[in-house]
Amino acid sequence: MKIIVDVMGSDKGCAEMTQGVCDAVEEYKIEAVAVGNAAEVAPIVEQRGLSEKIRIVDAPDFISMDDDSALVRTSKSGSSMVVGMKALAAGEGDAFVTAGSTGAAITAATLYIKRIRGIRRASLAPTIPTLEGGAILIDCGANADCTPEYLLQFAYMGSYYASVELGKDSPRVALLNNGTEKTKGDELRQQTYALLEAAGAEGRINFVGNIEGRDVLYGGADVIVADGFSGNILLKSVEGTAMFLMEQIKSALTKSFKSKIGALLVKKDIYAIKKMMNYKEIGGSPLVGVKAPVIKAHGSADAYTMKNAIARAVRFAQGGIVGKISDNVELMKLPSGSAE
């Protein structure tokens, strides 16, 4: 297994990302291609004794978070992200990981790797924590405006991904909505519900109906289908709530001598909760629907985050998810006579 990594994208810098690549190569027994500033990458790789496991591709230019994503076609076509994407498209690796601009990553993947034939839109599918171990949220920001057909395809793609990432034979698929009744929601949600219900009746997916935001973390479904606008709000709300609660718990456990004694007694349990809610443990989100595995890591990823993002890339590639989607595109088309 060989993973191509853009080591220039994170806010933490090239050296931090390179350390993450080295950690992943050592822990997961894989090979890697580090795309970035060779003058900065090479000494770290050599110091770690991994020159035979990590190939370095010199691409010191990078796309910043403030750059227009359209630059991947023009002045930034030689950036580390684009060079890495092109290498993946050429078959020089099994997956690609970047912590760079989300918009640029989606644009570059669509342009150079391209969507699976028949898939209307690629979508970001992060794993969010739940009481039952996790759920796949699809989409979380790649497509703010969606049609019922997009959401139908997200449901199928999310189900195939969940079967691998969550180890579920028949993942429960739910539609994010403002109520659980089938008549709830706007026209987009109502039309999508009808499509998902029909797919469920045919045994194509395990559709369990609508799900409200408050029920997501309780494990009401394994796949949460949403347009990118609503999904992103849900994701950021979960992240913000997690950070808020951990700060409140920390404050409560350190404000007095008695509470500090109590903290020592529950330290292990508190750490387990913190670990579950920490985005660094997740690593990154796959861009589902393109012809090869692409993982988007958090923009503030450190070495540990990057290592976990690479682990997710390995699982995604080994799971054959791209092939499963390609083989079942015909199931994801609208019924004859349906409006988009």
Q: What is the CATH number of the domain that holds 136?
A: 3.40.718.10
Summarize pLDDT for 20-77 with one digit per residue, the tens.
Answer: 999 999 999 999 999 999 999 999 999 999 999 999 999 998 888 877 777 787 777 8
* Same domain membership, residue 167 and residue 54: no
Show the tokens assigned to 40. Answer: 């900065």
Confidence of residue 336 (pLDDT cuts 50, 70, 90): low
pLDDT at residue 293, as a whole number: 96
- The verdict on residue 284 lying in a domain is no
- The verdict on residue 5 lying in a domain is yes
pLDDT at residue 315, as a whole number: 94
Q: Say which residue the tokens 């394994």 belong to.
A: 222
* Same domain membership, residue 190 and residue 108: no
pLDDT at residue 133, as a whole number: 83
Contacts of 291 (CB under 8 A, 6+ apart): 89, 113, 114, 115, 116, 322, 326
pLDDT at residue 251, as a whole number: 85
8 A C-beta contact, residue 287 and residue 106:
yes
Task: Tell me, rounded to whole angstroms, the distance of Cα 246 from its chain centroid.
Answer: 23
Neighbours of 107 (CB within 10 A): 21
* Same domain membership, residue 275 and residue 145: yes
- The verdict on residue 225 lying in a domain is yes
Q: Cis (ω within 30 of 0) for the bond into 222? A: no
- The verdict on residue 338 lying in a domain is yes
* Same domain membership, residue 311 and residue 253: no
* Same domain membership, residue 158 and residue 107: no
Range of the domain at 96: 1-119+289-340
* pLDDT of 93 strictly over 60: yes
Task: Tell me, rounded to whole angstroms, the distance of Cα 14 from its chain centroid.
Answer: 21
Confidence of residue 259 (pLDDT cuts 50, 70, 90): confident
* pLDDT of 280 strictly over 80: no
* Same domain membership, residue 191 and residue 64: no
Q: What angle do CA 78, 81, 84 make, to 5 degrees?
A: 90
* pLDDT of 171 strictly over 90: yes
Q: How far apart are alpha carbons 79 and 61 in whole angstroms?
A: 5
* Same domain membership, residue 146 and residue 112: no
Task: Count structural domains, the chain.
Answer: 2
